[in-house]
Amino acid sequence: MMENINKIAEVIKNHDDFLIASHENPDGDAIGSMAALGYILKVMGKRFTLFNDSEIPDKFKWFTMPGPVLREYQPGRHSWIIVLDCGNFQRSGKKLSQNAAEPIINIDHHRGNPEFGEINWVDISFSSVGEMIAELADHLNIKINLPMAESIYLALVSDTGFFSFGNTSARVHDLSARLIRDGVNPDLINSKILNQWTIERIHLHGMAMQKALLHLDGLVGIISVSRKMLHETGAVLDDCEGLVNAVRNIKGVQVAISLREDEQNKIKYSLRSTGDTNVQLIAAELDGGGHKNASGGIIQGDMIKARERIMDVVTRHLKA
Ligand code: 5GP
Ligand code: MN
Protein backbone atom coordinates (compact mmCIF):
# COMPACT_ATOMS: atom_id res chain seq x y z
CA MET A 1 0.00 0.00 0.00
CA MET A 2 2.72 2.39 1.11
CA GLU A 3 4.59 1.79 -2.11
CA ASN A 4 1.63 2.63 -4.35
CA ILE A 5 0.68 5.83 -2.56
CA ASN A 6 4.32 6.91 -2.94
CA LYS A 7 4.22 6.12 -6.66
CA ILE A 8 1.06 8.20 -6.99
CA ALA A 9 2.64 11.11 -5.11
CA GLU A 10 5.68 10.92 -7.43
CA VAL A 11 3.54 10.90 -10.59
CA ILE A 12 1.59 13.92 -9.34
CA LYS A 13 4.78 15.81 -8.48
CA ASN A 14 6.45 15.03 -11.80
CA HIS A 15 3.55 15.56 -14.24
CA ASP A 16 0.98 18.18 -15.12
CA ASP A 17 -2.53 18.27 -16.61
CA PHE A 18 -4.51 15.45 -15.00
CA LEU A 19 -8.00 14.20 -15.68
CA ILE A 20 -9.82 13.49 -12.41
CA ALA A 21 -12.82 11.17 -12.81
CA SER A 22 -15.22 9.24 -10.60
CA HIS A 23 -18.24 7.01 -11.08
CA GLU A 24 -21.43 7.93 -12.92
CA ASN A 25 -24.37 9.02 -10.78
CA PRO A 26 -21.82 10.37 -8.34
CA ASP A 27 -22.43 10.16 -4.60
CA GLY A 28 -20.89 12.28 -1.85
CA ASP A 29 -17.66 10.27 -1.84
CA ALA A 30 -17.26 10.51 -5.63
CA ILE A 31 -17.86 14.27 -5.58
CA GLY A 32 -15.98 14.96 -2.35
CA SER A 33 -12.90 12.97 -3.36
CA MET A 34 -12.77 14.55 -6.84
CA ALA A 35 -13.07 18.00 -5.30
CA ALA A 36 -10.46 17.34 -2.60
CA LEU A 37 -7.93 16.07 -5.14
CA GLY A 38 -8.67 19.04 -7.42
CA TYR A 39 -8.05 21.47 -4.54
CA ILE A 40 -4.76 19.70 -3.78
CA LEU A 41 -3.61 19.97 -7.41
CA LYS A 42 -4.65 23.63 -7.41
CA VAL A 43 -2.41 24.36 -4.41
CA MET A 44 0.42 22.52 -6.20
CA GLY A 45 -0.06 24.72 -9.26
CA LYS A 46 -1.02 21.75 -11.46
CA ARG A 47 -3.52 21.84 -14.29
CA PHE A 48 -6.44 19.44 -14.04
CA THR A 49 -9.84 18.70 -15.58
CA LEU A 50 -12.76 17.23 -13.64
CA PHE A 51 -14.86 14.67 -15.52
CA ASN A 52 -18.06 12.82 -14.80
CA ASP A 53 -20.26 10.90 -17.20
CA SER A 54 -23.40 12.12 -15.37
CA GLU A 55 -24.67 15.53 -14.45
CA ILE A 56 -23.93 16.53 -10.85
CA PRO A 57 -27.15 15.74 -8.93
CA ASP A 58 -29.17 18.79 -7.84
CA LYS A 59 -28.64 17.97 -4.18
CA PHE A 60 -24.93 18.75 -4.56
CA LYS A 61 -25.37 22.01 -6.46
CA TRP A 62 -24.56 24.05 -3.31
CA PHE A 63 -21.12 22.46 -3.14
CA THR A 64 -18.28 24.45 -4.71
CA MET A 65 -16.09 22.31 -6.97
CA PRO A 66 -12.52 23.42 -7.76
CA GLY A 67 -13.49 23.77 -11.43
CA PRO A 68 -16.22 22.89 -13.92
CA VAL A 69 -17.12 19.18 -14.13
CA LEU A 70 -17.01 18.27 -17.82
CA ARG A 71 -19.20 15.56 -19.28
CA GLU A 72 -17.07 15.06 -22.37
CA TYR A 73 -13.70 13.34 -22.47
CA GLN A 74 -11.12 14.15 -25.13
CA PRO A 75 -8.68 11.24 -25.41
CA GLY A 76 -4.99 12.04 -25.27
CA ARG A 77 -5.18 15.59 -23.88
CA HIS A 78 -3.92 14.79 -20.40
CA SER A 79 -0.82 13.24 -18.86
CA TRP A 80 -2.60 10.82 -16.51
CA ILE A 81 -6.18 9.91 -15.64
CA ILE A 82 -6.93 9.59 -11.93
CA VAL A 83 -10.00 7.43 -11.36
CA LEU A 84 -11.64 7.69 -7.94
CA ASP A 85 -14.18 5.49 -6.15
CA CYS A 86 -14.74 3.15 -9.12
CA GLY A 87 -14.97 -0.54 -8.15
CA ASN A 88 -14.23 -1.30 -11.80
CA PHE A 89 -13.38 0.92 -14.76
CA GLN A 90 -16.87 0.62 -16.34
CA ARG A 91 -18.25 2.51 -13.32
CA SER A 92 -16.63 5.69 -14.69
CA GLY A 93 -19.07 5.49 -17.63
CA LYS A 94 -18.70 4.56 -21.27
CA LYS A 95 -17.24 7.85 -22.52
CA LEU A 96 -14.12 7.36 -20.44
CA SER A 97 -13.86 3.59 -19.95
CA GLN A 98 -14.21 2.80 -23.67
CA ASN A 99 -11.88 5.54 -24.91
CA ALA A 100 -9.21 6.14 -22.27
CA ALA A 101 -5.91 6.97 -23.96
CA GLU A 102 -3.73 8.03 -21.01
CA PRO A 103 -2.24 5.88 -18.24
CA ILE A 104 -4.54 5.42 -15.25
CA ILE A 105 -4.13 5.87 -11.52
CA ASN A 106 -6.86 3.91 -9.74
CA ILE A 107 -7.64 5.01 -6.17
CA ASP A 108 -10.45 3.00 -4.63
CA HIS A 109 -11.80 1.23 -1.55
CA HIS A 110 -14.12 -1.36 -3.12
CA ARG A 111 -13.71 -5.07 -2.49
CA GLY A 112 -12.94 -6.96 -5.70
CA ASN A 113 -11.53 -3.97 -7.63
CA PRO A 114 -9.72 -5.61 -10.58
CA GLU A 115 -6.84 -3.10 -10.38
CA PHE A 116 -7.45 -1.72 -13.87
CA GLY A 117 -4.87 1.08 -13.65
CA GLU A 118 -1.17 1.39 -14.37
CA ILE A 119 -0.90 2.31 -10.69
CA ASN A 120 -3.49 0.94 -8.27
CA TRP A 121 -4.04 2.00 -4.69
CA VAL A 122 -6.97 -0.13 -3.60
CA ASP A 123 -7.50 -0.53 0.11
CA ILE A 124 -10.81 -1.71 1.53
CA SER A 125 -9.83 -0.63 5.03
CA PHE A 126 -10.63 2.97 4.06
CA SER A 127 -14.16 4.19 4.74
CA SER A 128 -14.17 6.36 1.65
CA VAL A 129 -11.90 7.54 -1.12
CA GLY A 130 -12.09 10.96 0.55
CA GLU A 131 -10.24 9.45 3.50
CA MET A 132 -7.57 8.14 1.07
CA ILE A 133 -7.18 11.61 -0.48
CA ALA A 134 -6.51 13.05 3.00
CA GLU A 135 -3.70 10.50 3.33
CA LEU A 136 -2.40 11.47 -0.11
CA ALA A 137 -2.37 15.16 0.89
CA ASP A 138 -0.17 14.22 3.85
CA HIS A 139 2.17 12.27 1.56
CA LEU A 140 2.42 15.29 -0.71
CA ASN A 141 3.05 17.56 2.28
CA ILE A 142 0.03 19.64 1.36
CA LYS A 143 -1.67 21.33 4.28
CA ILE A 144 -5.41 20.63 4.21
CA ASN A 145 -7.17 23.96 3.61
CA LEU A 146 -10.87 24.64 4.25
CA PRO A 147 -12.19 23.69 0.77
CA MET A 148 -10.22 20.41 0.92
CA ALA A 149 -11.45 19.75 4.46
CA GLU A 150 -15.09 20.31 3.45
CA SER A 151 -14.67 18.03 0.44
CA ILE A 152 -13.15 15.26 2.52
CA TYR A 153 -15.85 15.71 5.17
CA LEU A 154 -18.57 15.34 2.50
CA ALA A 155 -16.94 12.09 1.36
CA LEU A 156 -16.56 10.78 4.93
CA VAL A 157 -20.13 11.38 6.07
CA SER A 158 -21.58 10.13 2.79
CA ASP A 159 -19.84 6.76 2.89
CA THR A 160 -20.10 6.17 6.65
CA GLY A 161 -23.78 7.19 6.87
CA PHE A 162 -22.82 10.07 9.17
CA PHE A 163 -20.49 7.86 11.19
CA SER A 164 -22.96 5.01 11.68
CA PHE A 165 -21.89 2.15 9.32
CA GLY A 166 -19.37 -0.60 10.04
CA ASN A 167 -16.63 1.35 8.22
CA THR A 168 -16.68 4.05 10.93
CA SER A 169 -13.22 3.41 12.36
CA ALA A 170 -11.30 5.30 15.01
CA ARG A 171 -9.19 6.61 12.12
CA VAL A 172 -12.35 8.07 10.55
CA HIS A 173 -13.19 9.89 13.78
CA ASP A 174 -9.61 11.12 14.13
CA LEU A 175 -9.71 12.52 10.61
CA SER A 176 -13.12 14.08 11.20
CA ALA A 177 -11.83 15.79 14.35
CA ARG A 178 -8.90 17.10 12.37
CA LEU A 179 -11.21 18.45 9.64
CA ILE A 180 -13.22 20.28 12.28
CA ARG A 181 -9.99 21.81 13.60
CA ASP A 182 -9.24 22.82 10.00
CA GLY A 183 -12.46 24.85 10.01
CA VAL A 184 -15.29 22.52 8.98
CA ASN A 185 -18.52 23.50 10.74
CA PRO A 186 -20.47 20.20 11.17
CA ASP A 187 -23.74 21.95 11.94
CA LEU A 188 -23.65 24.06 8.78
CA ILE A 189 -22.30 21.47 6.39
CA ASN A 190 -24.43 18.57 7.68
CA SER A 191 -27.60 20.56 7.22
CA LYS A 192 -26.54 21.47 3.68
CA ILE A 193 -25.82 17.81 2.93
CA LEU A 194 -28.97 16.45 4.56
CA ASN A 195 -31.65 19.03 3.93
CA GLN A 196 -31.88 18.78 0.17
CA TRP A 197 -35.19 16.97 -0.17
CA THR A 198 -37.95 18.11 -2.49
CA ILE A 199 -41.65 17.60 -1.77
CA GLU A 200 -41.73 15.15 -4.68
CA ARG A 201 -39.08 13.08 -2.95
CA ILE A 202 -41.07 13.00 0.30
CA HIS A 203 -44.13 11.84 -1.63
CA LEU A 204 -42.14 9.11 -3.38
CA HIS A 205 -40.68 7.85 -0.09
CA GLY A 206 -44.15 7.80 1.47
CA MET A 207 -45.57 5.84 -1.44
CA ALA A 208 -42.69 3.37 -1.52
CA MET A 209 -42.67 2.81 2.24
CA GLN A 210 -46.36 1.95 2.20
CA LYS A 211 -45.58 -0.91 -0.16
CA ALA A 212 -42.47 -2.22 1.63
CA LEU A 213 -42.51 -5.96 2.27
CA LEU A 214 -40.77 -8.47 4.53
CA HIS A 215 -39.59 -11.93 3.46
CA LEU A 216 -37.98 -14.94 5.16
CA ASP A 217 -39.67 -14.32 8.50
CA GLY A 218 -38.58 -10.71 8.56
CA LEU A 219 -34.90 -11.27 7.78
CA VAL A 220 -35.24 -9.50 4.42
CA GLY A 221 -36.93 -6.16 3.77
CA ILE A 222 -37.67 -5.06 0.24
CA ILE A 223 -38.85 -1.77 -1.22
CA SER A 224 -39.39 -0.99 -4.90
CA VAL A 225 -39.95 2.04 -7.08
CA SER A 226 -41.54 1.67 -10.51
CA ARG A 227 -41.56 4.16 -13.39
CA LYS A 228 -45.23 4.69 -12.59
CA MET A 229 -44.46 5.74 -9.01
CA LEU A 230 -41.83 8.19 -10.21
CA HIS A 231 -44.29 9.59 -12.71
CA GLU A 232 -47.13 9.91 -10.20
CA THR A 233 -45.03 11.73 -7.61
CA GLY A 234 -42.93 13.77 -10.04
CA ALA A 235 -39.77 12.50 -8.33
CA VAL A 236 -36.52 11.77 -10.18
CA LEU A 237 -34.37 8.60 -10.10
CA ASP A 238 -31.92 10.08 -7.65
CA ASP A 239 -34.76 10.64 -5.16
CA CYS A 240 -34.75 6.88 -4.49
CA GLU A 241 -31.46 7.21 -2.66
CA GLY A 242 -31.81 6.29 1.01
CA LEU A 243 -34.97 4.23 0.53
CA VAL A 244 -33.00 1.08 1.18
CA ASN A 245 -32.17 2.44 4.65
CA ALA A 246 -35.87 2.69 5.47
CA VAL A 247 -36.21 -1.10 5.24
CA ARG A 248 -32.88 -1.57 6.94
CA ASN A 249 -34.35 0.33 9.89
CA ILE A 250 -36.97 -2.38 10.44
CA LYS A 251 -36.19 -4.40 13.56
CA GLY A 252 -34.83 -7.85 12.69
CA VAL A 253 -33.97 -7.10 9.05
CA GLN A 254 -30.57 -8.50 8.10
CA VAL A 255 -30.66 -7.73 4.40
CA ALA A 256 -32.40 -4.65 3.02
CA ILE A 257 -33.12 -4.49 -0.69
CA SER A 258 -34.32 -1.63 -2.84
CA LEU A 259 -35.25 -1.94 -6.49
CA ARG A 260 -35.59 0.93 -8.89
CA GLU A 261 -36.95 0.70 -12.42
CA ASP A 262 -34.50 2.90 -14.34
CA GLU A 263 -35.90 1.91 -17.72
CA GLN A 264 -38.13 -0.82 -18.97
CA ASN A 265 -36.26 -4.06 -18.21
CA LYS A 266 -33.44 -2.33 -16.40
CA ILE A 267 -33.61 -2.57 -12.61
CA LYS A 268 -31.07 -0.90 -10.34
CA TYR A 269 -30.78 -2.69 -7.01
CA SER A 270 -29.20 -1.66 -3.72
CA LEU A 271 -28.36 -4.08 -0.93
CA ARG A 272 -27.57 -3.23 2.67
CA SER A 273 -26.81 -5.48 5.60
CA THR A 274 -26.06 -5.08 9.25
CA GLY A 275 -23.29 -7.12 10.85
CA ASP A 276 -21.78 -10.23 9.33
CA THR A 277 -23.94 -10.75 6.25
CA ASN A 278 -21.76 -9.89 3.24
CA VAL A 279 -23.93 -8.31 0.54
CA GLN A 280 -20.92 -7.72 -1.69
CA LEU A 281 -20.87 -11.48 -2.36
CA ILE A 282 -24.58 -11.37 -3.23
CA ALA A 283 -24.10 -8.43 -5.62
CA ALA A 284 -21.07 -10.15 -7.20
CA GLU A 285 -23.30 -13.10 -8.14
CA LEU A 286 -25.59 -10.61 -9.87
CA ASP A 287 -22.67 -8.89 -11.68
CA GLY A 288 -22.67 -5.94 -9.28
CA GLY A 289 -20.26 -4.97 -6.53
CA GLY A 290 -19.57 -2.78 -3.53
CA HIS A 291 -18.74 -3.42 0.10
CA LYS A 292 -19.57 -5.97 2.79
CA ASN A 293 -22.53 -3.95 4.14
CA ALA A 294 -23.49 -1.92 1.05
CA SER A 295 -23.54 -3.10 -2.54
CA GLY A 296 -25.49 -2.60 -5.73
CA GLY A 297 -25.82 -3.22 -9.43
CA ILE A 298 -28.15 -3.58 -12.40
CA ILE A 299 -30.41 -6.48 -13.35
CA GLN A 300 -31.79 -6.76 -16.89
CA GLY A 301 -35.45 -7.74 -16.74
CA ASP A 302 -38.70 -6.48 -15.30
CA MET A 303 -39.40 -5.78 -11.64
CA ILE A 304 -40.91 -9.20 -10.96
CA LYS A 305 -37.99 -11.07 -12.53
CA ALA A 306 -35.45 -8.87 -10.77
CA ARG A 307 -37.13 -9.46 -7.42
CA GLU A 308 -37.18 -13.22 -8.01
CA ARG A 309 -33.52 -13.35 -9.02
CA ILE A 310 -32.37 -11.25 -6.12
CA MET A 311 -34.48 -13.11 -3.55
CA ASP A 312 -33.13 -16.38 -4.90
CA VAL A 313 -29.51 -15.36 -4.29
CA VAL A 314 -30.27 -13.64 -0.96
CA THR A 315 -32.19 -16.70 0.30
CA ARG A 316 -29.32 -19.02 -0.61
CA HIS A 317 -26.82 -16.77 1.21
CA LEU A 318 -28.93 -16.39 4.34
CA LYS A 319 -29.59 -20.14 4.57
CA ALA A 320 -25.92 -21.07 4.04
P1 5GP B 1 -25.77 2.05 -4.00
O2 5GP B 1 -26.66 0.94 -3.61
O3 5GP B 1 -25.79 3.16 -3.00
O4 5GP B 1 -25.93 2.50 -5.40
O5 5GP B 1 -24.31 1.46 -3.97
C6 5GP B 1 -23.79 0.81 -2.83
C7 5GP B 1 -22.41 0.34 -3.12
O8 5GP B 1 -22.43 -0.59 -4.19
C9 5GP B 1 -21.47 1.46 -3.55
O10 5GP B 1 -20.25 1.29 -2.89
C11 5GP B 1 -21.30 1.28 -5.02
O12 5GP B 1 -20.03 1.62 -5.41
C13 5GP B 1 -21.59 -0.18 -5.25
N14 5GP B 1 -22.32 -0.31 -6.52
C15 5GP B 1 -23.51 0.23 -6.83
N16 5GP B 1 -23.88 -0.06 -8.09
C17 5GP B 1 -22.88 -0.81 -8.61
C18 5GP B 1 -22.66 -1.42 -9.89
O19 5GP B 1 -23.47 -1.34 -10.82
N20 5GP B 1 -21.51 -2.11 -10.04
C21 5GP B 1 -20.59 -2.24 -9.04
N22 5GP B 1 -19.47 -2.93 -9.28
N23 5GP B 1 -20.77 -1.67 -7.84
C24 5GP B 1 -21.88 -0.97 -7.61
MN1 MN C 1 -16.88 5.38 -1.88
Q: 212-259, pLDDT tens digit by residue? A: 999 999 999 999 999 999 999 999 999 999 999 999 999 999 999 999
| In the chain, % of residues over pLDDT 90 | 97
The residue from 194, 228, 250 where one domain ends is 194
pLDDT number for residue 97: 98
90 and 40 part of one domain: yes
Specify the ligand 1 atom closest to the Cα of 280. Answer: 8
Q: Is 67 exposed, middle or buried (0-12, 13-18, 19+ CB in 10 A)?
A: middle
Identify which ligand lies nearest to the alpha carbon of 113: 1
Q: Report d(CA 234, CA 239) in Å as an integer.
A: 10
Predicted confidence (pLDDT) at residue 43 exceeds the cutoff of 80: yes
pLDDT bin (cut points 50, 70, 90) of residue 320 is confident
Predicted confidence (pLDDT) at residue 52 exceeds the cutoff of 60: yes
Predicted confidence (pLDDT) at residue 137 exceeds the cutoff of 70: yes
Of 112, 128, 114, which is closest to residue 281 (Cα–Cα)? 112
As for ligand 1, residues whose beta carbon falls within 6 Å of it are 87-88, 91, 110, 270, 288-291, 294-298
Contact by Cβ (8 Å): 104, 80: yes
211 and 240 part of one domain: yes
| In the chain, % of residues over pLDDT 70 | 99
SS (H, E, C) 68-84: CEECCCCCCCCCEEEEE
pLDDT number for residue 169: 97
Q: Report d(CA 143, CA 10) in Å as an integer.
A: 17
181 and 51 part of one domain: yes
Identify which ligand lies nearest to the alpha carbon of 259: 1
Distance 263 CA to ligand 2 centre (A): 25
96 and 63 part of one domain: yes
135 and 235 part of one domain: no
Of 307, 304, 306, 281, which is closest to residue 292 (Cα–Cα)? 281
For 267-316, the pLDDT digits (tens) are 999 999 988 999 999 999 999 999 999 999 999 999 999 999 999 999 99
Q: Report d(CA 139, CA 134) in Å as an integer.
A: 9
306 and 157 part of one domain: no
220 and 189 part of one domain: no
The residue from 168, 194, 220 where one domain ends is 194
State the average pLDDT over residues 9-29: 98
Q: Report d(CA 240, CA 140) in Å as an integer.
A: 38
Domains identified in the chain, total number:
2
Predicted confidence (pLDDT) at residue 46 exceeds the cutoff of 80: yes
Look at the chain and count its residues: 320
State the average pLDDT over residues 199-221: 98
pLDDT number for residue 155: 98
pLDDT number for residue 239: 94
207 and 282 part of one domain: yes
pLDDT number for residue 222: 98
For 110-126, the pLDDT digits (tens) are 999 999 999 999 999 99
- What's the mean per-residue pLDDT of the chain? 97
State the average pLDDT over residues 195-216: 97
Predicted confidence (pLDDT) at residue 1 exceeds the cutoff of 60: no
For 302-315, the pLDDT digits (tens) are 999 999 999 999 99
Distance 178 CA to ligand 2 centre (A): 20
Which residue's CA is minimally distant from atom 7 of ligand 1?
295
169 and 75 part of one domain: yes
- Domain residues for 235? 200-319
Distance 98 CA to ligand 1 centre (A): 20
99 and 18 part of one domain: yes
Q: What is the CA radius of gyration of the chain?
A: 19
Predicted confidence (pLDDT) at residue 2 exceeds the cutoff of 80: no
The residue from 194, 212, 230 where one domain ends is 194
The CATH number of the domain where 87 resides is what? 3.90.1640.10
pLDDT number for residue 254: 97
170 and 223 part of one domain: no
Positive or negative: CA dihedral 309, 310, 313, 319? negative
Q: Kindly compute the dihedral angle of the four CA atoms of residues 172, 178, 183, 189, in this order, to the nearest 10 degrees.
A: 10
Distance 67 CA to ligand 1 centre (A): 26
Which residue's CA is minimally distant from atom 10 of ligand 1?
290
pLDDT number for residue 275: 86
